[in-house]
């Protein structure tokens, strides 16, 4: 496990802002999945590209997509952060959590792959706080889908506080981020998940920010090393998983 205290990094900027779209979920005509879609190329393309799914925190829930722009990666993208691939940021309804909407998220991801030119072996997942929890839970629910995940100040809600279900993604590269002084979601929440993965041979990294509280997402998402690391990951490279892990369809 790599634990790297850091103060964050500056990135280059480009005059690109997210475009608002809405995607019809496949589960129900009444259950829609509104989302922001950032495309660094701002144009139609048939080339299959990487895609990052971003899950927001609890404060951005609702029916107004402008709320999703307030914090984390969408805010930085609106400010001109340059990332090398499209980013899709869905919105969670008020009164629920991402970890309770895994079926909708699974349908959302599959619909994105149909609607956009996406390389299915380069689909990445990240989120902050409630979205960090959603990142852990969705990855465990679909251990065959994502090339890598990057939860920020995340946690889990599995019964009895048992982090062992995370072993299902011991074949998926993980880079987690957390503020050491986080009083909303203590850093031990990330440590427990990372330690569990490390114990079963997972490919894991944990970056802890000294003196930083809950708002660790600006440092994490402003660091260009995160996007370079994501681009280096391919699902096909680890689909089989370590010895003894059942692959898709097993």
pLDDT one-digit tens code per residue, 209-225: 999 999 999 999 999 99
pLDDT band at 10 (very low <50, low <70, confident <90, very high): very low
For residue 13, give the DSSP letter. Answer: B
Q: Phi and psi dihedrals of 179, rounded to 5? A: -85, 130
Domain boundaries, the chain: 2-7+16-237
pLDDT band at 47 (very low <50, low <70, confident <90, very high): confident
Buried b (16+ CB within 10 A) or exposed e, 151-188: bbbbbbeeeeeebebbbbbbbbbbbbbbbeebeebbbe
For residue 24, give the DSSP letter. Answer: E
For the whole model, what pTM was predicted? 0.85
**Of 185, 120, 117, 194, residue with least CA distance to 154:** 185
The mean pLDDT value for 68-95 works out to: 94
Q: Give one DSSP letter per residue of 41-71, joined into a string.
A: T-S---S-EEEEEEE--GGG-SS-GGGGGGS
Beta strands in 9-166 (DSSP E): 19-24, 32-38, 49-55, 87-90, 118-128, 148-152
- pLDDT score of 7: 35
Return the number of other C-beta atoms located less than 10 Å from residue 80's C-beta: 13
- pLDDT score of 44: 58
pLDDT band at 2 (very low <50, low <70, confident <90, very high): very low
pLDDT in tens, 103-127: 999 999 988 998 888 999 999 999 9
Q: What angle do CA 36, 139, 91 make, to 5 degrees?
A: 25
- pLDDT score of 41: 77
pLDDT band at 42 (very low <50, low <70, confident <90, very high): low
What residues are paired with 53 via a beta bridge?
Answer: 88, 125
pLDDT in tens, 162-181: 999 999 999 999 999 999 99
| Superfamily name and number for 2-7+16-237 | Alpha/Beta hydrolase fold, catalytic domain (3.40.50.1820)
The mean pLDDT value for 75-98 works out to: 94
The mean pLDDT value for 153-170 works out to: 95
* pLDDT reading at 88 higher than 80: yes
Find how far residue 70's CA is from the centre of its chain. 17
């Amino acid at each position: 496990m790599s634990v790297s205290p850091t103060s964050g990094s500056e990135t280059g900027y480009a005059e690109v802002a997210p475009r608002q779209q809405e995607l019809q979920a496949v589960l129900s005509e009444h259950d829609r999945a509104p989302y922001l879609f950032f495309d660094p190329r701002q144009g139609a393309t048939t080339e299959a590209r990487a895609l990052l799914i971003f899950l927001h925190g609890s404060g951005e829930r609702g029916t107004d997509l402008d709320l999703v722009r307030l914090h984390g990666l969408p805010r930085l993208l609106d400010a001109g952060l340059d990332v090398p691939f499209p980013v899709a940021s869905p919105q969670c309804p008020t009164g629920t959590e991402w970890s309770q909407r895994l079926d909708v998220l699974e349908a959302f991801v599959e619909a994105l792959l149909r609607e956009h030119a996406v390389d299915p072996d380069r689909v990445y997942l990240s989120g902050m706080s409630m979205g960090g929890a959603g990142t852990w839970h969705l990855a465990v629910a679909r251990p065959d889908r994502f090339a890598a995940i990057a939860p920020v100040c995340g946690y889990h809600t599995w019964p009895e506080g048992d982090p062992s279900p995370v072993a299902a993604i011991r074949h998926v590269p993980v880079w987690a981020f957390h503020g050491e002084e986080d009083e909303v979601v203590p850093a031990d929440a990330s440590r427990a998940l990372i330690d569990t993965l490390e114990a079963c041979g997972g490919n894991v990294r944990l970056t802890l920010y000294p003196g930083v509280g809950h708002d660790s997402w600006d440092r994490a998402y402003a660091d260009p090393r995160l996007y370079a690391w994501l681009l280096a990951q391919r699902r096909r490279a680890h689909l089989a998983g370590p010895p003894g892990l059942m692959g898709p369809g097993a």
